[in-house]
Amino acid sequence: MRETFDHIFGQTLDRGHLFDQIQYILQNIFLEEEGLVSLEKELPLIKFSSCETPPFPLSVYMLCPQRADVGKFFYEMVTNWLIPGRKMQIELFFITDFKFNPMEKKTYTIAEAVVRIKDERDYKIIEQVKEAFQREVSLGISSPYHANRLMEMKGVSLDEKTTLIREKIIQLLARFPQKIDYDIFSFLQQFMISSSRQFKQRRSYRTLTRIVCTLYTYFHSIQISMTESETRRYLYSKSMKVKIDTPFGQKSVVGLFVALNFLHRHEVFEKGHLLKAVERYVKGVKIVDESYILHQPSGERFLAFYVEIEKEGGEDFTRDEIVMLQKRLHPHLTHCIEQLVKPVFMPRNEEEVMRYIVTLSRQVQYVKDIPQVVISFEGQLEGQMVFTVVLVRAIAPMAKSIEQIVKNSSSSVKIELEKVKRIGFVRKKYPKEAVVLRLSLKEKEFFKEDHSLNLYKARQTVVQEIEKLFGEIRDFNGGLLAKQMEVYSTLKEALQENGHIVSDCLENFFHSLYPVEFRGIFPLSALVKLYVLFHEALFSEENLYFKAEKEEHNLFILLSIEERELQQAVIKRIEEFKIPPSHLIKLQMAHEGKDYLGYVFLSSNPLEMDIFLKAIKALLFM
């Protein structure tokens, strides 16, 4: 026999309308004669009323253990997804919690949603999707996780998505009160305003929650760190795989978080700088449209931003590429911060040009002498680096004119002939010619990682272009520079051969060595050792870093001192020793808000090295 349900205890009325409605729904759910058999195993239950000839009212019944927000989920599914692609108008919606017996602890939720089936077409669609609909709703009721996933796949409005994000953040607040505070809701509001509608629609609420929480955490970490010290660089970064919805289905991209502080007034770091850093490890990437979310309060010297990248060809990122970005991108980013510098331009001094011509003319004594050249940096102008080249040559028989040489040049560098002048003869027979050229190079080809201009590299390019035109030349004012660049290349190769990590600041390290004129003759082994000590100091978190090592004829010292007064005291004390420049290599360099001092004392006397070392230790550790 069918169960009568006379023992049901309602929440607010033990008899009357509420009781009758609960009893009515239960009788429609349990049509089988056995009644409430194995109820716990069956729940949740989703049932449909019997179908009639359209038009007719169709009831969808639900019975499940009591659970928060289950009514909202059931209502949403019936409204939007009973007939896929069409929003159904619910004519009646009833839901309540009840107990089968007043003595039981177990509470259940029961509901009925009534919609009108207007025609045969609707009836056939429901017959086709009925079983799938029952499975999806039952799964969503059983698991809040699956309910959220269903809502994401089915699509929710931005208001509903924002509500879901708030609910998730409330859960995180309870779990991580030390990391997240209630001001995250203000942060969330700014995020929702600054991000585009398309950005929010194409990403799940789970992804948006993760973006908001990570940006918030990084931003506040920078803020707290800067209260401790404003003279140090702080940097946080992270990469993660992200799924975004497109008209053609889901696609994978990589989301990147960056938070950092600025040490100087004219420093800049934006999405373009980050993209350039990424391209160092993964080629052929671009920024996903409308994915750049920046948080930087007005007037503050720190920021946090999120941006997504994708491959230009649409391919997915490999696991190795993701791992490489996670490992290598972070330490590289500090070298990509750009310092804005106004373009430099200084009108050429014609008297100086004439002096160069007279000086170079004296160097050309024979017709076979190679051309003599002076190269000067003139300035920056409209994205160009401009160099002035003064060249003096002897014109041998059958030699091409300077006009022909410049005209026939196939170089990509812009070369302008400004002046040609006969300035005498070699052996009273062969004319000597002075030429003034203007070479313009595209500055974007000579940017370093921090977007500063590499004048050394640009000057080498000018030398190469002149050699293409005139053959072998003598770089009159660049001999020492050429030797230094040769030593730098040798130093880099030696470090790589010995398995040492060559950081992006190696070039700055080399050009911070003094005396300048001795850079080309310092012992290579001493430079390698000093760099290794410097590289170790880069990763030290100590306010005072000191390391000293002795070799047979060398004493190596590397210091990093935050106190400027103590730093100046060390420099002054070392100057008092009056060590000849040929016996003391000095390193003085600022990097990421920290100052580094390095010394190599070249001496064959162990007593001298001991006195030198004790004098420095006495200042540091007194």
Residue range 538-568, pLDDT digits in tens: 877 777 888 999 888 889 999 988 777 888 8
- Give the pLDDT confidence of 526-535 residue by residue, as tens digits: 888 888 888 8
Omega into 347 within 30° of 0, i.e. cis?
A: no
Question: Which stretch of 144-153, 295-304, 501-510 has the lowest confidence by average pLDDT?
Answer: 144-153
Instruction: Check whether 154 has a pLDDT greater than 70.
Output: no
Q: How far apart are CA 12 and CA 97, in angstroms?
A: 10
Bridge partners of 10, per DSSP, are 98
Instruction: Check whether 573 has a pLDDT greater than 60.
Output: yes
Bridge partners of 417, per DSSP, are 437
**Minimal CA–CA distance to 428: which of 373, 370, 366?**
366
Which helix (H) or strand (E) element contains residue 22? helix 17-29
pLDDT of 345 reads 61
What is the side-by-side order of every strand in the sheet holding 108-117? 9-10, 90-99, 108-117, 56-65, 45-48
Reported confidence tier of residue 589, pLDDT bands at 50, 70, 90: confident
Over residues 79-84, the mean pLDDT reads: 80
pLDDT of 15 reads 52
Question: Which stretch of 191-205, 455-469, 481-495, 543-557 has the lowest confidence by average pLDDT?
Answer: 481-495
Cα 592 to Cα 281, 306, 464, 538: the distances in Å are: 23, 23, 34, 9
Q: How far apart are CA 252 and CA 124, in angstroms?
A: 37
Query: Could you tell me if 152 and 206 are in contact, meaning their C-beta atoms sit under 8 angstroms apart?
Result: yes
Q: At 213, phi and psi to the nearest 5?
A: -65, -40
E strand segments, 100-165: 108-117
Instruction: Check whether 593 has a pLDDT greater than 90.
Output: no
pLDDT of 218 reads 92
Over residues 46-59, the mean pLDDT reads: 88
Question: Which stretch of 9-18, 258-267, 469-478 has the lowest confidence by average pLDDT?
Answer: 9-18
- Give the pLDDT confidence of 4-13 residue by residue, as tens digits: 444 444 444 4
Bridge partners of 307, per DSSP, are 256
CB atoms closer than 10 angstroms to residue 457: 15
Structure tokens at 221: 């970490």
Which three-class secondary structure string do you get for 44-85? CEEEECCCCCCCEEEEEEEEEECCCCHHHHHHHHHHHHCCCC
Reported confidence tier of residue 592, pLDDT bands at 50, 70, 90: low
pLDDT of 451 reads 66
* pLDDT greater at residue 363 or residue 581: 363
Cα 331 to Cα 234, 237, 327: the distances in Å are: 11, 9, 8
CB atoms closer than 10 angstroms to residue 597: 20
Q: Where are the alpha helices (DSSP H) in 155-298?
A: 158-175, 184-194, 197-201, 205-228, 271-279
Three-state DSSP state, 179: coil
Q: What percent of the chain has pLDDT over 90?
A: 22
Over residues 156-177, the mean pLDDT reads: 81
Structure tokens at 605: 């006397």
Cα 204 to Cα 112, 118, 157, 208, 506: the distances in Å are: 30, 34, 11, 6, 44
pLDDT of 152 reads 57
- Give the pLDDT confidence of 362-397 residue by residue, as tens digits: 999 988 899 999 998 888 877 788 999 999 999 988
- Give the pLDDT confidence of 513-527 residue by residue, as tens digits: 888 777 777 788 888
**Minimal CA–CA distance to 481: which of 390, 567, 376?**
376
- Give the pLDDT confidence of 207-256 residue by residue, as tens digits: 999 999 999 999 999 988 888 877 788 899 999 999 998 877 788 999 99
pLDDT of 156 reads 57
pLDDT of 63 reads 92
pLDDT of 314 reads 84
Scanning the structure block, which residue is given the tokens 């980013």? 333
Q: How far apart are CA 446 and CA 457, in angstroms?
A: 7
Distance separating the N- and C-terminal Cα atoms of the chain? 98
Q: How far apart are CA 607 and CA 342, in angstroms?
A: 51
pLDDT of 393 reads 93
pLDDT of 31 reads 64
Query: Average model confidence (pLDDT) for the chain?
Result: 84
Q: How many helices (H) and strands (E) does the chain have?
A: 20, 22
Which helix (H) or strand (E) element contains residue 244? strand 235-246
Structure tokens at 336: 């990509």
Instruction: Check whether 276 has a pLDDT greater than 90.
Output: no
- Give the pLDDT confidence of 105-131 residue by residue, as tens digits: 889 999 999 999 888 888 888 888 888
Three-state DSSP state, 346: coil
- Give the pLDDT confidence of 172-206 residue by residue, as tens digits: 888 888 888 888 888 888 888 888 888 988 888 89
Judging by DSSP bridges, how do beta strands 302-311 and 293-295 pair with one another?
Answer: antiparallel
Q: At 440, phi and psi to the nearest 5?
A: -115, 125
* pLDDT greater at residue 597 or residue 18: 597
Query: Could you tell me if 439 and 465 are in contact, meaning their C-beta atoms sit under 8 angstroms apart?
Result: yes
CA dihedral 498, 503, 506, 508 (to 10 degrees): -170
Reported confidence tier of residue 505, pLDDT bands at 50, 70, 90: confident
Q: How far apart are CA 323 and CA 241, in angstroms?
A: 11
Query: Could you tell me if 386 and 439 are in contact, meaning their C-beta atoms sit under 8 angstroms apart?
Result: yes
Highest average pLDDT, of 80-84, 91-95, 163-167, comes from: 91-95
Which helix (H) or strand (E) element contains residue 483? helix 479-497
pLDDT of 328 reads 82
Omega into 515 within 30° of 0, i.e. cis?
A: yes
Instruction: Check whether 428 has a pLDDT greater than 90.
Output: no
pLDDT of 9 reads 46
Three-state DSSP state, 214: helix
Q: Which pairs with CB-CB distance under 8 Å and at least 24 residues apart come from 107-110?
A: 107/65, 107/66, 108/43, 108/63, 108/64, 108/65, 108/66, 109/62, 109/63, 109/64, 109/65, 109/66, 109/67, 109/70, 109/71, 110/22, 110/25, 110/26, 110/61, 110/62, 110/63
